[in-house]
Amino acid sequence: MNECKQLAIPQFGEPSVLAMQTVEIPQPSANQVLVKVAYAGVNPIDAKTRAGLGWAAQQNQDKLPWVPGYDISGEVVARGTEVTSVSPGDLVSGFVGFPLQGGGYSEFILVDAGALSRVEPDNVSLIEAAALPLAGQTAWQALDKAKVSDGDQVLILAGAGGVGHIAIQLAVARGASVLASCSADNVDFVSKLGAIALDYRLAPLAEQTGKVDVLIDLMGGDTGIAALDCVREGGRVVTVPTITAEAVCERARELGLEAEGMLVTPSVEQNDAMMAMLEVGTLQLYIAAQYGLSDGAEAHRQIESGHTRGKVVLAVDI
């Protein structure tokens, strides 16, 4: 059998446009490995691209059908002639094909060997290993860009989400005092991660807290702009949603704040560091739901609800 099932975007639109397709299993080139995918992470960027929004959609609009997915975990089943870092049978995970190639919603995927982390299944499950890369590295790099360090007071918007719940834990590990916005249903969840939970429905965030040193904006738009009132003069702002980054940064600078948008860059070193944290229990991942590959539309609806606690994954190898 030489066939590979994939969940693809044949045209931009609602989650229902996602469709299964079959292609030949590809063969690795010299520096690549072929991974039999066990799990694929589902991220907001997947849904935005499917809807035709953002840079990945613009660049791939003439290349449809396109297979989304940037997080994978699974087993190496073949390797190129120059690969020595991993062998068939090894379990791996990675942040792959970003931002234009994608490909994670697939039974098999070709990956550059250097883009992969080893997974020790006794310490980190494959489902965690697939949920971690994009969200974890986004959180890590946002904190780096904001220069979060010991003693900083940090406000994280959407603290219960995929990136947010990791960002809280990483910021706490750096010695920061963390506040995080969330819904009433997630107050206990966010509090257990080490943050002061702020129910955004109770009152404007600026009325619930004093001035903070850093804002990590995972919401963007009007919500991100309103949260700027929580930041002290000269404070730092990093806004992650790219579609509204310019507007948020412009308003932040008008208020005398340092502000930057960001686009995550894949880093095996950061992924390995967070995998080590998972192994010893200093980082925890919450998996909200898992769906089969053919149920990817439901996974996208879950992500687009705006009320997902933690991460959503596709169970590919079931």
* Number of CB atoms found within 10 A of residue 98's CB: 21
The CB density around residue 122, as the number of other CB atoms within 10 Å, is: 7
Dihedral angle, C-alpha 238, 73, 315, 165, nearest 10 °:
-30
The per-residue pLDDT string of the chain (318 residues; one tens digit each, 9 = 90 and over) reads 699 999 999 999 999 999 999 999 999 999 999 999 999 999 999 999 999 999 999 999 999 999 999 999 999 999 999 999 999 999 999 999 999 999 999 999 999 999 999 999 888 999 999 999 999 999 999 999 999 999 999 999 999 999 999 999 999 999 999 999 999 999 999 999 999 999 999 999 999 999 999 999 999 999 999 999 999 999 999 999 999 999 999 999 999 999 999 999 999 999 999 999 999 999 999 999 999 999 999 999 999 998 899 999 999 986
Residue pair 127/290 in contact by the 8 Å Cβ criterion: yes
**What's the longest Cα–Cα distance across the chain?**
63
Taking alpha carbons only, the member of 308, 300, 299, 310 closest to residue 47 is: 300
- 222: CB partners within 8 A, 6+ apart: none
- All structural domains of the chain, each given as residue ranges with its CATH number in brackets, are 3-132+285-315 (3.90.180.10), 135-261 (3.40.50.720)
Kindly list the distances between the CA atom of residue 93 and the CA atoms of 61, 75, 284, in Å, as whole numbers in the listed order.
28, 9, 17
